[in-house]
Amino acid sequence: MNEKKSDEKRILVTRSSMPPYEEYMESVRDLWDSVWLTNMGKKHNELTERLKDYLKVENLSLFVNGHMALETVIGAMGLTGEVITTPFTFVSTVHAIVRNGLTPVFCDIEPDNYTMDPDRIEELITDKTSAIVPVHVYGNVCDVERIEKRAKKHGLRVIYDAAHVFGVTYKGRGIGSFGDASMFSFHATKVFNTIEGGAVATGDRALSEKLDMIRDFGIKDEEVIGYVGPNAKMNEFAAAMGLCNLNHTDLEIGKRKEVFDRYMDRLSEIKGLSLPKPQKDVKMNYAYFPVVFDEKVYGRTRDEVKDELERHNIFSRKYFYPLINEIECYRDRFAHGDTKTAKRISDRVLTIPMYASLEKEDVDRICDVIAGYRI
């Protein structure tokens, strides 16, 4: 095997987008004058309104991070029993369900876009089922129409984990406008970030107002504590970062598209690779670039490719691996179910570097390794 070349530039799997230093410093200058650093200050409220407009949603509640946003909205709905979700996701999705005292039931995924398979939902519904928590994956959109049709038939709530789909639209609608609620993550690695942060979008005004209270210890006013709530508020410095980053988000997505297109141009002719497939009626955000390796055709396993990239100082991620129904804290606790497609993808998928500032020559270097390493 080739040894890692010490003179090769280090390429990480992701890199946070940040505004110009001077722009951010100027945006936080007035915080020293107001000394209002948290508790829904001016920047928090301004970001709320701007995001409602950008995401095309009716109501939006900001949170300290995406996990607390999801955990809080699940709790706010008063769900009971079982919740159908996917094992092909980041662990936060299922933690949010379990930490609310609910039982996750794992549904398999579709083979092309890796989102929940609507045809498998019906067989998982029991008299204990109260909700469905599908996950939009890598920027790919769930089949919202078929999922919500099944949910409506059985009177189930639908809460989307929309951590990967900031700015995505489907048939002209903001993706956060579907279902009963959608959770967005504004983590540093996402297309749009507030350093750490998240939000819940919903068309239900009463639910949004409830979330606003729950995230602040459940405080209704100075004398009334109406809910048992966490401290999950977004602070003013995070909101300021969000306001600055939002000024550049469309440009950042455009740069991501250039990286995406270069990958597609360079990798599409290599046999044994499954590359992202654009979806009809979906405006993409180019959040990730997952590659699924068929070792029988390509000649190498996913793990071998990952190791080879690292020898060239290129860092990728087995995302998502292992499946959530196979991780230590859940594998002996909840039924696995039939998730063969999710298992096959999880064992073969690799997300390769994808971010707006990734240079063309670095994309080519990554592709050269992948193209040259196959048998």
What is the CATH classification number for the domain harbouring 136? 3.40.640.10
Q: What was the pLDDT predicted at 274?
A: 98
pLDDT tens figures, 236-289: 999 999 999 999 999 999 999 999 999 999 999 999 999 999 999 999 999 999
Same domain as 332, residue 220: no
Average pLDDT in the 136-158 region? 98
* pTM of the complete model: 0.96
Same domain as 226, residue 97: yes
Residues spanned by the domain of 102? 21-246
Residue 3 pLDDT more than 60? no
pLDDT tens figures, 357-375: 999 999 999 999 999 976 4
How do beta strands 224-225 and 290-293 pair?
unpaired
Alpha helices, H only, the chain = 21-34, 42-55, 66-76, 91-98, 144-154, 205-214, 236-246, 249-267, 295-298, 302-311, 340-346, 360-373
Q: Which residues pair with 181 in a beta bridge?
A: 159
Same domain as 287, residue 234: no
Residue 307: inside a domain: yes
Residue 5: inside a domain: no
Residue 8: inside a domain: no
Residue 13: inside a domain: no
Last residue of some domain: 246, 278, 304?
246
Domains: count for the chain:
2
Q: What was the pLDDT predicted at 1?
A: 44
Q: What was the pLDDT predicted at 337?
A: 78
pLDDT tens figures, 216-240: 999 999 999 999 999 999 999 999 9
- Exposure pattern of 16-39 as b/e (b: 16+ CB <10 Å)? ebbbeeeebeebbeebeeeeeebe
